[in-house]
Every structure is written in structure tokens, then in C-alpha cells.
Structure 1
Amino acid sequence: MCHAVYQILVWLWMLLCCCGSRVSCLQISNCNKTEVTMIRDMDVLTSLTLSNCSLPHLENAFFMRFGQLLHLELEHSGLSSLDDFSLHGLPRLQSLSLSHNNLTKLRSWSSEPLEALTSLDLSHNRLCSLEDNSFVLYPQLQMLNLASNQIEQLADDTFHGLSHLKHLQLHGNRLMLIDGFQFSGLHRLSSLTLHHNLIKGVDPLAFESNTHLRSLRLEGNLLSSLQFLTQRGLARLVHLNLANNLLQKLEPQGFGNNIELQDLVLSHNNLTELTKESLLGLDSLERLNISHNILSHIEAESLQSVVSLTQIDASFNQIASLSESLFQANSQLEEIILSHNRIEEISPKLMSHQTHLKRLKLDGNALIEANFLQSLPPALNRLSLSVDLSSNLLHSVNLSSLLQFGHINLADNHWNCAWLVKNFLLRAPASLNFARNWSLLSDWNEDLTKVQGIDCIEGSRNRSIVLLSVGEAIHSKVQCAQSYDELNPAPPPLTWPKIPTDRFDSRSVIIWMLVAIAITFACLRWLRRFVDRKEQSKRKLKAINEVYMSKMESQPIRHERERS
């Protein structure tokens, strides 16, 4: 039913488009130059998209007849060259995309400035270098995309004249050095992407004039020093990504001038320690990612300056111990990730100030007990807390103290078999995750081919306890089963992640809502007409009554005159 309604609406839309004498938006694919020149109604066309066409070269004034164009996209068409004035005659053009082509050189492509152009996309081409004043004929540009080219060098005045530029994308190129003049004059620049280049150094004055810069991405480069962050030009920076570089240490007070920084990503570097001076000045920092380093030591006072911290990820490091006062100043923490380290013990005082905690990940460590969970502050809402203690060395836990938590993952630990059997005489609540599925090769029916199993240790032997409902086994009347070697249990099967499914078709819901709105408006319009007709009939009837009454009043006067 919903599909049929959708098709009807599509047909109605196509009918309306066909009834119009002219179209303002046109999309063409798999075309050639001759077919483009035969397009009709070019004087009213405002948007033109050409994709997967055969257009290797464009002559001068090729789009001269498309004088009303506002948006032009020419992508995936093998375009390798444009004459000097190929874009001449497009004074109203606002956005231009020439991405996914073979352009090797950037030119003005117009004899006069395109003063209406605000967005230019030249990504995924073969540009190697940018010369001085490359974009001087586009003075109103706000978005410039040069990503995924082969740019190795930027001239000092490449972006001269782009005083309105807000978003500049240069990622996926071959830049090796950012000097002090390449981005000068871009006073309104808000976001700059330089990730996945070959940048080894950044001049300390490189961003001095970019006082409105809010997002800077430098991940995937070869940086070994962060001295450039000490300049005042980055005082309003909010997002900074330095992942996948060669950083070995953080200079003391290196972030002191980034007073508005909220997101800091330092993952996949070679950092060995975090000191009390590493993050000084970051009072607004909310999210810190120092995962995938070689951190072995975090000083007790290293997080005292980041009082606004809500998320910290220190996973995949070599941390063996944590000071009990590490999070003392971070009472706003909602997520703590310490997975895959070497932590053997957690002090009960470590989480004593965490009243907003919602997620705690300690999986992949060497914990032998989890008593710290009983020392969490009373103000913490345990029903909204998710704790991951899987893949540790836990032998036993106090299950009664864990029942009030939202979810606790306890899978793949070194449980004591005697303790496990004692505590699993009753089925564990759903909030505790101990088990995993084991595939049993047997002649049983499909309902019994997967049962819940938990690994445990008895002395020096590894065993597995299988949780099976005896009632189901008796009801199925099985006669035999393949022998099971408890010393060599079957390996767990490969499991695919569960993909959440939506029971509702969003498109159908939107269509039905539109249909309902249309019916409602139609009913209201009909009701309005009905009321208007009623009002008109009442007015006519009132007018007739008034005429009748006036006649009746005039008759006695006439009779009296006749008598007199």
C-alpha cells in the first residue's frame, strides 16, 4: 500500500515537471560534448550536473549560453584541460564542482571575476602545485576543496584575496612543510584540513593571522614537535586532531594558548608519559584521546587542569598502575576508557568523585578483583552505568553487589570453577554478561545446538561449564550425543555483530504524513467553502426578509393616504 502511494506521488511529480514548459534543474550522465550543446532552455537553467560524461577538454566560453547558472557540477568526466576563458559568461554562478577529473593545472578560466562564486570543489584531480594569486578571480569564496590531489607546494600568496574563505580542505596531498605565509590573510578561516599529507614541520607563525580558526586536522603526518601551538593565533581553536604522527612527548605548557580547545586527539603516536604540565591551560577541554601510544606512566596531577573533562580514552597503552587521585579534579567525567593496558589493581578511591559516570571500560587488563565497584559514590546512578571487565584475570566477584548496575560485561575471565558452579545454580540476571555461545556438533535438534558456556579454571586445568536447561533436554528425548572433551573444548564460533533494524520505513512514514497533511488541507478547504456558502445563504435570506419587511411597513401608510 505504501509503495503504491509512493509511486503515485512520484508520477504526480513527474507530471507536474512535464507540464512545465521549462526546467531550471538538469542532471545528465553518460553524455558527450555534442549533447551538452543541444540542451534547450539554457536561458532559465539555474542548476546543471554532468557526471560520467566524455568531456576531456572545454573551449573558451563553453558555458556562455548558460548565463543564469547558479550551480554547476562536472564530475567523473575525464576533464583534463580548460581553455583560459572556459567559464566566461557565468556572472551568477555560486557553486562550481570539477572534482574527480584529471586536471593538472589551475587557471582563472574566466576573463572577469566570478564575484558570486562561494563554493569551489577541485578535489580528486592531479594538481601538483598552486601558484600566487591562483584564486584572485573568486573573491567571495567561502569553501575551497583541494583534497586528494598531488599538491607538494603552496606559494606564499596562493590564497591571496580570499578574505571571506571559511573552509579550506587540503588533506590527501603531498605537502611537507607549512611555512609562515601560506595562510596569511585568511582572517575568517574556520576549518582547515591538512591530514594525510607528509608534513614534517609547521612554522610557529603559520596560523598567526587565522584568529577565527576553530577546527584543525593534522592527523596522518610526520610531526614530531608541537611548538607551533604556542602561538596566539590558535586561541579560539576548538577541535584539534594530531593522531598518527611521530610525537614522543608533549612540551610543558604546549597548549597554554589554546584556551577554548574542547577536543584533543593524540592517538597513534609514541607518547611515553603524561605529566602535570602536559595539559596546562586547557580549562575548556572536554574530550581527550591518548589511545594507542606507549604510555606507561600518568602522573597523579596530570589531569588536574582539565576540570571540564567528560571523556578520556587511554586504551591500548602500557599503563600498569593508576594513582588513586588521578581523577580527583574531574568530577564531570562520563566516559573512562582504559582498555587493553596492564592494570592489575584499581584503588577504591579512584572513582570516588565520579557522580556522572555512564561508561567504564577496563577490558583487556590484568585485574584480579573488582572490589572498587562497591566504592562508587552513592550519588552515581548505577542503573545508567555500563562497565566492561571482560578479558581480565578475575577469579570471583561479589554478584550481589553488581545486580544494581545497568550492564556489566564479565566474559572471558579466569573464573574459579567451584565458585562459578555455586553462583550459577540460579540463572544470572540479564545485566551480567558472563557467557558466550558454543557450537556443539551433535544429532540434537536445532534448539539445542547452541548453548551457553563459560570458561573456568580448576587447579591447573582449563574447563568449561555449559549452562543447559535440563527440562528442554528431557522434552527433546535425545538418545545420544557426540562426546565432549572438557580438556579441549570446542572453540567459540565466529560471531557477526548485530545490526539494529528499524521496524518502520521512514520513507513510507513521510509519505503517509504528506498524504495526511494533503487530506487535512483539502478537508479544511472544503469546510471553509461550506461555511462561506452558508453565510452567503444567510445573508441573502436576511436581505429578502428586510425587503419584505420594508414593503409590509410601506403598505399601511399607502392605505391611509388613499383613505384621506
Structure 2
Amino acid sequence: MNLIVQVMLFTCILSPWTCSPSPHKSTCEIKNAKADCSHMNLDGVPANLPNNITELDISHNRLKNLSSLYLYRNLMNIDASYNSLTIIENSLCLFLPHLQNLNVQHNEVYVIEEKHLKNCSHLTQLDLSDNRLKLHGEPFSALKSLKWLDVSRNKLTSAKLGTQPQLPNLVTLVLSGNAFSVLQKDDFSFLSNSSTFQVLVLSSQLFKKVESGCFQAISRLSVLVLDGSKLIPQFTSLLFEDLGGTALQSLSLKNTLQLTLSSTAFQGLEKSNITSLDLSENRITKIPDGTFQWFPRLESLSLEQNAIKHLTKNTFSGMGNLRKLNLHKALIKSRSSPLPVIEDFSFQPLEHLETLCMSKTAFRELTEHIFSRLPNLKTLDLSWSITGLKTITNRTFAALQDSPLLQTLNLTGMGINKLEPGAFSNLGNLTRLLLSYNFINQQLKGNEFAGLLNIKEIDLSLNQQSISLTNASFIFTSTLKSLNLARTLKGNLDFHPSPFRPLVNLTFLDLSNNNIANLNVGLLTELFNLKVLKMQHNNLARLWKTANPGGPVLFLKNCTKLSYLNLDYNGLDEIPYNALSGFSELRELSLRGNLLDKLHSFVFDELQSLKYLHLQKNLITSVQRVTFGVPLSNLTELYMDHNPFDCTCESILWFSGWLNKTNTSVPGFPQNYICNTPNAYFNQTVMHFDPLSCKDMMPFKALYILSSTAVLMLLFTSFLVHFQGWRLQFYWSLMVNHVLGSAKSRGVAEHRYSYDAYVIHSAEDRPWVERSLLQVEEDNFIFFLEHRDAIPGFSQIDTIIENMGQSRKIIFVITEKLLKDSWCRRFKAHHALHKRAQSASFSSHVLVLEEEPGKLGASTGNEPFIHME
């Protein structure tokens, strides 16, 4: 007993999944009209499902009968596989009149009779595979509509499923893995009236004998699958002779132990109409010349995964109609054998060949005439082939000049290390050139791609970062639409003009995984049609920094038609506010794995077409409406998990509300949206953030806004009064006098003035004014002097305005002290100018006082000079 326990424990250590219980769902998943109740360990169908379901998956449970299905009369599709059913109830189709597809594979159904299926006239698909069937009578005779029947792996001892013609609409019959080894003459007679029958699957059988005429009843057969069956040569020769009288078009002999082929192996199929033949996985080592001459109509041949050693110019003779030849792993090298040989002109008989696949094929060398005379070839796949090819010269593919229709050349993983000038000059119609996973180590000067007049796609990715570009690298490929340079480039791209400048038609560019740190603003200048740009896993952080010498490098500014932009893992810690301006067609933006935290308020505002946004694994703490309102409004999927969110009212109040009401898909929510601060929410999901707590802050927030506004207004008013108060007084006086002084204006208009002149002077020049100007009053002049004639009790402003209006002239006494007097220099001077502009008869005079000619002043006691202007 202890030994058994120890063995079980050891088994659990090695394979823990074998000891852990299978996960079971607790409830059925309902979507549209389908109910998924699989893997629930059920004994019966739940009775609380919607009555209108049409599809039910009840697989992987413990059902012993289907009677509980009668509750749902609208069912059309039932998957009851992997249960413990022993019988199909007679009344099943009676209670489910719409049933079309029934799957009961991997059960224990034993006896099946006509009565079990007599009401299933609408059934179109029936899967009874992997049971223990014993057929009694004519169990399938009532299935008038059945199109697909699978009774494989039931240990049936005969392919005969009935003695009378039945199943008039059957298309496919699967009899694989049963116990019969002989095909008798009348085995398929029950299908003699099946006018639609086309596909017969007899895989994984051990055949020993076939009787002549066994396929006569199904002469309309078009597809025969014998994969995995053990076919001896005697059986195949009789089988092919009997198939010669059918309408067979496709024959699959995959993994049927056809180790050797003779030149007459397929002679019996000479009169057939076979267009597709699959001989893959048979370990064939030799194909004699003329082996396939019996297939004049063959269009597709697969020799995948064999061990062929030699192909000659007669191997494929007689196959002039072949369109597709699959030689994937067909020629392989063993440790003890040399590389297989493909002779020149081996494919010459295939004049209509369009697709030649030689991926992972080993052959001695790529000679000059291997691919000669293939005028209709469109696709040549040599990927991962083992050859001695290291350098591609202008003669390597010279033979393909006979293939003017060639569009795709796949040279992926061939160990190429150099492209010489004109390497593809003979391929003028080539549209796809795939050179990824090689070891190309050179500077591309452009002449390597000379002659590619119609090229649309070049893939140079994953070349160990050993290719450097020049200004002329793509000068001969102006038609290019897709360019893949991922993990390929060495050096930087900071040179002018850009190597991509000639590629005006480019729509796809991949520059990822190149450690690019230096580039200039003109790198993508001419790529106006670019739609997909991949630049992830580079080092672009410095280029978008505000502190970068010369400012941020906006290398994306002309790519306004982008629909996909990937800048993952570039160390970006900021995005310039106008870096994404103009991208109105962008549908997917990926910035995962950077160091982004604070983003400009309007950085995403022009991304109105954005559907997919990736910002996971950054340092984002705050998600606010002013930044994310526009991109999140029309989003289909948002990825912002694994960020250190600050779960406070200021940071994620809006985001929390958006997450709870949005229809946008947010993968990873809530388990991967974790709060980092404050301590109250640390290591909890954002979903636990309580928005109600923010309502208590509203009064304080309003008070803060109100007090801040009041303080700012007070400061503004103080500065305004201090620096511009005189101007406010001036304009206020103009407005008041304009409204209230109309009568006085009329008096002035009638030339009734009280004074001849209003004298403006500084207080320190008063002695000179009294000494010099009062003498003039004796000659019948009346001056208004503010210190003498102002009426006590009147404000200074009113006195100035009132008496300037009653004065015919204004005299300015200009001294250095007057120029320092702010009241005279500002208010009085501006009001005098206003009065002068208002009245054509009004004028002013200026007295300039100087101690000496050319120098202002009146403080020395000497009599100053007086100038009247």
C-alpha cells in the first residue's frame, strides 16, 4: 500500500496536472442563442436555461441520457460528446423537431436501430465516432437530409452500413479506424442512390484486400482519404484499378508507408480525373523517372516530409498541367549521407507550374539552370533550405528570367551574408522579396535592388543588426509599399536626406528592435501614405524631451495618415504636446512599457478615430478627463493595466466613473488595475475606490476656488490702480463730462471763456510763474493758476476739468521738475490733448525754461531763457 502511495506521489510531482482536479464552471454561459454548459460535471441538462436557445454544448459531463433536452424544443445544434450516453432515445427528434446537428462522439452508445433515428428526417450532421456501435437493421434509412456521417473508431467489421439504398443527400462519410480490412463489392451499395456523395474517409485502416467493383456504387466519388492506412503494394494496385472508373479528383495517401515507388505504381489511375495527389509523410527515398506520367490532369502534388535523394529532369515528366508542387522537407540530409541532388532542368516538364515550395529542403547547390523554363511560375519558396548559397550574384537567379510572371521569392533563413549589385536584376516583375533571418552584413548602397521595377514588399528583418543604410539604399524601389527592417540596422539614422525619401508609396514600415537613438526630423518627411509604423524597442526617449537641444524632434509630423503606431519600450517619459497633432486617422496607438507619467492636457485631443490604446506598464498615476476624454470617448479596447495609480479624488475620480459605465473592453480589469497610493487604497484594485468620499471635499473645494479668485482679483486691482489709476480717472472724467457737460460745451462753442489760459506747472516752479506770468495779467490777460484760483472744497480732478474747459488756451511750463511730476505728465497732459482734439479753436503753448541754452532747469537763481511754441 505504501508503495502505491509513493508511486502516486511521484507521478504527481512529475505531472502535477494529472493529479489536480479539472476546473469546472459553476453556471452555464449564455451568449446570443447559444448555451455552453460544458465541463460542469452535470448529470442532466439545467432546467433554467432560456427557452429560445438553438445551440447547446453539454459536452464533458456525466449525462447518461438526453431526455432532459426535451425542455428546449428550438434546439438545432447539440454537442453531447464526452459523456456516458448508452443510447439515443427514440423520441429525441420527436420532441426536438428542428434538430439538425447532433454530436455524441466519445460516449458508450452500443446498439443503434432504425427506431432510434426514425423521426430525425431534418438531421444534416451526425457524429457517432468513438462509441461501441452495433448496427441492427437499417438504422440510417430515415435520415433523408443527412449530409455528413461519422462512424469512425467503432470497431465496425464492415464498411457496409445498410443493405438497402438510403441517405440520398449524403456528401461525406467517415469510416476511419474501424476493424475491417477488406472492401467488398457491395459494401457501398447502400449509397447507390446518393447522387450528392463526394467524400469518403478511410484513414487509419489496415487494408489487405479490395474486391473489384467495390466503388461502382459510388462512382461519383471525388475525394478519397486514406491517410494513416497501411497500404501494401498489392492492395494499392487493385485499389487504383478500381478507382480508375470513378470521378475521383483528390486522392490523399499521407503516411501510408509508400517507401518505394515504381514507375507503374499509379498506372491504374491513368484514366482517372485526379487533379490533387498527396504523398506526404511516406519516407519516400527514390522516385523513378516517369512515376507520375499517369496523372496528365494533375494540378497539385505534395511530396512533403519524405527523404528523396535525387531529382532528375524526367522525375516529373508527363505532368504538364501541374500548378502547385510542394517539396517542403521532401529532400533531407542525414548524418551519413551527402546532400541530395537536384539536376538542372529538373522542373522543366512543369510548364504550367505556378507555385513551387522547397522550404526546409536540403540540396547540394543552387545551380544556374535548376529553375529554367518555368514560364508560369509565380511563387518560389526556398525558405530555410540547406544549400551552399552565401552570396547572391546577378547570375544566382538568372534562370528565372524565363519566369516573367514570378511575383514572390522567399529566401528566408538561407544563410545569405551578402547581396551583390544587380542580385535581382532579372526579376523585373517581382512584387515580394523575403530575406529575413539571414546574416546579411553590408551597407546597402541601392544597386543591390536595381531592376526590381514592380517591387511592393521587401523583408530584411532579423538580420542580426548588421545592415547599415545610405541615402541611396532604396533609390531603385520607389514602388515599395511594405518595408520590414526589424532587428536589422546598425548605426543611426541621423543623416540627410533620409534613406526612405524615395519611398513615396510606402504604407508599412517596421524599424523595431534596432536601438535607434539618433534620427532627424526629416526621417519620414516624404512618407505621406504611411499607415503602419512600428518603432518599438528603440531608444527614443531623448528625442521627445523638452530639454533636448533644439527642442523635441517631431519626426512624425508628416505621417498624418497613420492608422497604427507602435512606440513600445522606448524609455519615453514625456510626449510633446504637438507630437500627435494631425493624426485624425490613427486607430491604434501603443505606448506600453515606457516611463510616462504626467501627460500634457491636450496631447491626445486630435485622436478622434482611436479604437485601441495601449498604455500598460508605464508610470501613470493620474487619469483625468482633460487628457483622456477625447481618446476614450470612441475607444473599443483600452490597455492601461500595471500602472501605479494614485487613487485620490484629484487623480482618478473621473477614470473610476468611466470604468464603471463604459462599454469599452478593458482587458485585465479589475485585477491588474492596482492603486499604489494613498496608503488607504494601497495594493487594492481601482474598482474599490469610493467616489462618494469625494463629495465631502466639494464645499472645501468651492471655498478654495472662491478665496483664490478673491485674492487674485485683489492683487490685480491693486496693481491696476497703482500703475494705471490715473488713466482710469481720465476716462471716467471724459465719460461723465460727455454725459453731464453738454450745456457747458454749448457755452464754450459760443466762445464765452472765463480765462485766457490755463497754466500747467510743477509746484516747485511756482515762484517763477508768479514772478513772470503775473506781469502779463496786467496787460488784460487772465490766467488760471491752480494754487490761486481753485475753489476750496472741489476735488483736484473736477477743478482741472472744469477750468480747462473754461480756458481759451493752455500753457505748459516745461522744466525738469515738471517732467518728474506724474500728475502733470499724465492726467493734465492727456486732458489737454483731448481738449485740443475736441475743439479746432483750442490750442496750447509750451514754455521751456532753461538755465542755459540746451539744458533744462530753473533752480540757480539766474533768470532762465523762455521759449514760446
For residues 78 and 337 of structure 1, the distance between their equivalents in structure 2, rounded to whole angstroms, comes to: 47
Matched, 1:30 2:30: no
* Partners of 1:141 and 1:164 within 8 A in 2: yes
2:206 is matched with 55
2:396 is matched with 228
2:502 is matched with 329
1:252 is matched with 421
Deviations 1:503-535 (A, max 9, x none): xxxxxxxxxxxxxxxxxxxxxxxxxxxxxxxxx
Deviations 1:133-166 (A, max 9, x none): 0111111111111112222322331110111111
Alpha carbon RMSD of aligned pairs, Å?
3.7
Matched, 1:191 2:365: no
Matched, 1:96 2:269: no
- Out of 144, 167, 173, the residue aligned to residue 16 of structure 1 is 144
Moved more, 151-160 or 329-338: 151-160
TM-superposed CA distance for 1:74, in Å, is 3.1
* Partners of 1:144 and 1:169 within 8 A in 2: yes
1:165 is matched with 322
For residues 531 and 502 of structure 2, the distance between their equivalents in structure 1, rounded to whole angstroms, comes to: 17
User: Are the structure 2 counterparts of residues 21 and 328 from structure 1 closer, same or farther at C-alpha, using a change threshold of 3 Å?
Assistant: closer
User: Are the structure 2 counterparts of residues 449 and 421 from structure 1 closer, same or farther at C-alpha, using a change threshold of 3 Å?
Assistant: closer
1:537 is matched with none
For residues 338 and 362 of structure 1, the distance between their equivalents in structure 2, rounded to whole angstroms, comes to: 5
For residues 427 and 152 of structure 1, the distance between their equivalents in structure 2, rounded to whole angstroms, comes to: 69
- Out of 152, 155, 174, the residue aligned to residue 309 of structure 2 is 152
Q: Which has the larger radius of gyration?
A: 2
TM-superposed CA distance for 1:115, in Å, is 4.6
- Out of 364, 379, 385, the residue aligned to residue 563 of structure 2 is 385
Q: How does 1:259-278 map to 2 (within 5 A)?
A: 259-273=428-442, 274-278=444-448
Aligned-pair identity in percent equals 20
Task: Return the letter of the residue paired with 1:410.
Answer: L
User: Are the structure 2 counterparts of residues 49 and 240 from structure 1 closer, same or farther at C-alpha, using a change threshold of 3 Å?
Assistant: same
* Alignment coverage as a number of residue pairs: 460
- Give the number of the structure with larger relative contact order, counting CA–CA contacts within 8 Å between residues 6 or more apart: 1
Task: Return the letter of the residue paired with 1:283.
Answer: L
For residues 65 and 128 of structure 1, the distance between their equivalents in structure 2, rounded to whole angstroms, comes to: 34
- Out of 543, 550, 554, the residue aligned to residue 369 of structure 1 is 543
Instruction: Give unpaired runs (5+ residues) of structure 1.
Output: 455-464, 478-564
Matched, 1:239 2:386: no
For residues 579 and 481 of structure 2, the distance between their equivalents in structure 1, rounded to whole angstroms, comes to: 26
TM-superposed CA distance for 1:196, in Å, is 1.3
Instruction: Give unpaired runs (5+ residues) of structure 2.
Output: 1-51, 56-73, 78-97, 101-119, 125-142, 147-164, 333-339, 545-551, 601-618, 633-637, 648-667, 677-681, 695-869
* Partners of 2:281 and 2:306 within 8 A in 1: yes
User: Are the structure 2 counterparts of residues 67 and 417 from structure 1 closer, same or farther at C-alpha, using a change threshold of 3 Å?
Assistant: closer
SS of residue matched to 1:228: coil
Q: How does 1:47-446 map to 2 (within 5 A)?
A: 47-58=198-209, 61=212, 65=216, 68-83=219-234, 84-89=237-242, 90-91=244-245, 92-107=247-262, 108-111=265-268, 113-175=270-332, 176-223=340-387, 224=389, 225-226=391-392, 227-231=395-399, 232-273=401-442, 274-294=444-464, 295-322=466-493, 323=495, 324-367=497-540, 368-370=542-544, 371-373=552-554, 376-377=557-558, 380-382=559-561, 384-402=562-580, 404-405=582-583, 406=586, 407-414=588-595, 428-429=627-628, 431=631, 436-438=641-643
SS of residue matched to 1:369: helix
Task: Return the letter of the residue paired with 2:76.
Answer: Y
* Partners of 2:304 and 2:330 within 8 A in 1: yes
For residues 639 and 204 of structure 2, the distance between their equivalents in structure 1, rounded to whole angstroms, comes to: 57
For residues 422 and 17 of structure 1, the distance between their equivalents in structure 2, rounded to whole angstroms, comes to: 62
TM-superposed CA distance for 1:9, in Å, is 5.9
Deviations 1:24-78 (A, max 9, x none): 7451222322366523257667635233342344568575646724424233343
User: Are the structure 2 counterparts of residues 394 and 381 from structure 1 closer, same or farther at C-alpha, using a change threshold of 3 Å?
Assistant: closer
For residues 397 and 76 of structure 1, the distance between their equivalents in structure 2, rounded to whole angstroms, comes to: 59
Task: Return the letter of the residue paired with 2:514.
Answer: N
SS of residue matched to 1:16: coil
For residues 620 and 483 of structure 2, the distance between their equivalents in structure 1, rounded to whole angstroms, comes to: 37
User: Are the structure 2 counterparts of residues 468 and 257 from structure 1 closer, same or farther at C-alpha, using a change threshold of 3 Å?
Assistant: same
2:189 is matched with 40
TM-score by length of structure 2 reads 0.48
* Partners of 2:568 and 2:590 within 8 A in 1: yes
For residues 67 and 393 of structure 1, the distance between their equivalents in structure 2, rounded to whole angstroms, comes to: 68
TM-score by length of structure 1 reads 0.72
Q: How does 1:427-506 map to 2 (within 5 A)?
A: 428-429=627-628, 431=631, 436-438=641-643, 450-451=672-673, 472=689, 475=692
TM-superposed CA distance for 1:449, in Å, is 5.8
SS of residue matched to 2:458: strand
* Partners of 1:236 and 1:258 within 8 A in 2: no
SS of residue matched to 1:328: coil
Deviations 1:396-418 (A, max 9, x none): 33134325432443333355889
